[in-house]
């Protein structure tokens, strides 16, 4: 399989992105919405490519001390190949380097693939926003990840084979 590369989103990517957006969300963002995000000084957006083809994208608002994921999507033909995970890890690494303490996101209770992805990345449910998704009336699960703790590290004294 060809390698997946990640780079910042550019305005000329938007036709390919809108194609993915329209088959990924019940209330897709418009071209203008993406342009506004790219001009937002807090917005940070990346695309995933295989060769020259955009296969996914993800973005967030990077606010003082806190990152808020605004979108992540992978083209249906390319799902299940760890591209969503790679995009999310790109956001996490970027936010961590910029000093964010936490990363927050909303997800539909019915969106099990996304919930599983976020959980596997260390996000945990901290609350519910009632009737958050106006188009379906669904609530949103709010998930949070602490970015600066060393939860993934074993304590040095617990590591085997060091003595």
Ligand X SMILES: CC(C)(COP(=O)(O)OP(=O)(O)OC[C@H]1O[C@@H](n2cnc3c(N)ncnc32)[C@H](O)[C@@H]1OP(=O)(O)O)[C@@H](O)C(=O)NCCC(=O)NCCS
Using the minimum distance from each CB to ligand X, give the nearer residue, 90 or 147. Answer: 90
The answer to whether residue 82 forms part of the interface with ligand X (CB under 6 A) is yes
Using the minimum distance from each CB to ligand X, give the nearer residue, 128 or 159. Answer: 128
Residue of the chain from 16, 66, 85, 142 that contacts ligand X (CB under 6 A): 85
Active site residues: 106, 118
Q: What is the Cα–Cα distance from 62 to 104, expressed in whole angstroms?
A: 11
Stretch that binds ligand X, among 78-86, 94-102, 124-132, 143-151 (CB under 6 A): 78-86
User: Do β-strands 102-107 and 66-74 pair in parallel, antiparallel, or remain unpaired?
Assistant: parallel
**Neighbour count for residue 119 (Cβ, 10 Å):** 14
Residue ranges in 88-127 that form contacts with ligand X under rule CB under 6 A? 107, 111-114, 116-117, 120
The backbone region for 91, taken as left when phi is positive above 0, alpha when psi lies in -120 to 50, beta otherwise, is alpha
In the chain the first and final C-alpha atoms are separated, in Å, by: 41
- Positions touching ligand X (CB under 6 A) are 24, 72-74, 79-85, 107, 111-114, 116-117, 120
């Amino acid at each position: 399989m060809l390698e997946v590369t990640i780079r910042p989103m550019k305005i000329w990517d938007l036709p390919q992105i809108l194609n993915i957006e329209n088959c990924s969300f019940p209330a897709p963002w418009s071209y203008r919405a993406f342009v506004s995000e790219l001009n937002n000084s807090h917005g940070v957006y990346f695309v995933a490519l295989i060769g020259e083809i955009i296969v996914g994208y993800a973005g967030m608002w990077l606010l003082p001390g806190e990152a808020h994921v605004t979108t992540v999507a992978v083209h249906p033909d390319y799902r299940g190949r760890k591209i969503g995970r790679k995009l999310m890890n790109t956001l996490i690494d970027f936010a961590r380097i910029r000093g964010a303490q936490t990363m927050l996101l909303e997800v539909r209770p019915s969106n099990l693939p996304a919930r599983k992805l976020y959980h596997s990345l260390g996000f945990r449910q901290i609350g519910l926003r009632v009737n958050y998704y106006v188009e379906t009336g669904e609530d949103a699960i709010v998930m949070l990840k602490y970015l600066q703790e060393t939860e993934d590290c074993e304590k040095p004294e617990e590591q085997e084979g060091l003595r």
